[in-house]
Amino acid sequence: MRDFKKYYILRATPIEVYMALTNSFTITLWTNEEAVMSTEPGSEFSMFGGSITGKNMEFIENKKVVQQWYFGEEETPSIVTLKLHEHKEGTSVELNHTNIPDEAYREITEGWDEIYFGNLEEYF
């Protein structure tokens, strides 16, 4: 299991970024695929047409999102924490993804850069 931490700058306010991360309609806009999302802790979510699924753990409005991502039958939960910080260019998003299965590490880290945050950058 491996961990991944990185910062991304998005040209939008923390309020706009939080909405893009937590509203299923907005997620559908920037992913161009169906999304199911709720800000209710313990609720299940699905993004990118079901390519990313998991459970929502914690929300601090306009500041933080914590999710558990599912990877098959892994016993150790893979936790994604997104912290939003005001930045002179918009919002700095601090990503911390823990317990990524070794065999999925490269695909996941490239996906964060190219697909997840790549789509968010284009959206904003």
Task: Centre a 10 Å sphere on the Cβ of residue 41 and count the other Cβ atoms it contains.
Answer: 11
Q: What are the residues whose beta carbons fall under 8 Å from the beta carbon of 22, sequence distance 6 or more?
A: 37, 39, 59, 65
Across the chain, which has 124 residues, the per-10-residue mean pLDDT values are: 96 97 96 95 93 94 96 77 97 96 92 95 96
Domains and CATH numbers, the chain: 2-123 (3.30.530.20)
Q: Would you state the pLDDT for residue 47?
A: 93
pTM: 0.93
Query: Nearest-5° angle of CA 118, CA 57, CA 113?
Result: 15
